[in-house]
Amino acid sequence: MQNPVKQKLKNGHKTVGGFLQTLSPVAAEIMSQSGFDWLMVDLEHAPGDFANLQAQLQAMNGSGVVPFARAPWNDVVAIKRILDTGVLGVLVPYVNTREEAEAAVAACKYPPDGIRGVAGSPRAAGYTANAKAYLASANAETIVMVAAETAEAVENLDAILEVEGLDGIFIGPMDLASSMGHLGDPEHPEAQAAIAIIEEKVLASDKFLATIATNWDKARSCFEKGYQWLVLMQDGASLRQAADRAVADFRDTFGEG
């Protein structure tokens, strides 16, 4: 098992991808054929489960895109089941301390580096066909990323960045702003100041920096700062935006309805 995105990140390259939140294998298949480096199936803010996570990964087969998943929580059982479907990267939400970051890494790693349960039968190991090769390479090739999305995480970021086996930090701007008393307002000056602190510290470390960009101007700005991993679209939100634009164009032109 080799993870081309992990190699790109180690080499300092920029990568792009999207969130999959509609539970649709068709959406996963379409987006996997668009040239993204990776796609992330969202199990935190979407109503998906492990079965439809696996179905979406199957829809990506043969495309070359690297599959990620966002865990519903920093939970060792959930992370184990996510990894057994065959994802090569995990985003763990709401990590606020060094201890929580260490727990996230341990959940993603087989012994002796962690506590991930071992089985050669799941899809990740080719239903036993590739078990030996998978078990030998999974610890090194799986990307472990945690979300810094609270004021507490910002306060503890120096210690979090010291965690061995942690690859990247994802800034969750909406939750971060909300934790600081600015619900749904990531552009608030206090939230932006916290984001700047995270940027400075992560970019000075050996971890990659990640976030979500809602438009290309934002993405370009982030990449120019040194971000390496950006969500450029979300399947449901992007479909909604395209539908809104189509209807608006019609109403603007003909004024009917």
Buried b (16+ CB within 10 A) or exposed e, 226-256: ebbbbbbbbbbeeeeeeeeeeeeeeeeeeee
pLDDT tens series, the chain, 257 aa: 899 999 999 999 999 999 999 999 999 999 999 999 999 999 999 999 999 999 999 999 999 999 999 999 999 999 999 999 999 999 999 999 999 999 999 999 999 999 999 999 999 999 999 999 999 999 999 999 999 999 999 999 999 999 999 999 999 999 999 999 999 999 999 999 999 999 999 999 999 999 999 899 999 999 999 999 999 999 999 999 999 999 999 999 999 86
Residue from 13, 45, 182, 188 carrying the catalytic annotation: 45
pTM, full prediction:
0.97
176 vs 188: CA distance, rounded Å: 11
Residue 122, number of CB atoms within 10 A of its CB? 18
Instruction: Specify the DSSP class assigned to residue 123.
Output: G
- Among positive and negative, which fits the CA dihedral 55, 58, 64, 69? positive
Q: Which of 141, 154, 171 is nearest to 9 (CA)?
A: 141
Task: Determine the 3-state secondary structure of 144 from DSSP.
Answer: strand
Domains of the chain: which residue ranges?
4-254
| Annotation says 182 is catalytic | no
The residue to which tokens 């996230």 are assigned: 104
- Residue pair 159/98 in contact (Cβ under 8 Å)? The answer is yes
- Residue pair 121/150 in contact (Cβ under 8 Å)? The answer is no
The residue to which tokens 């966002």 are assigned: 70
CATH number of 4-254: 3.20.20.60
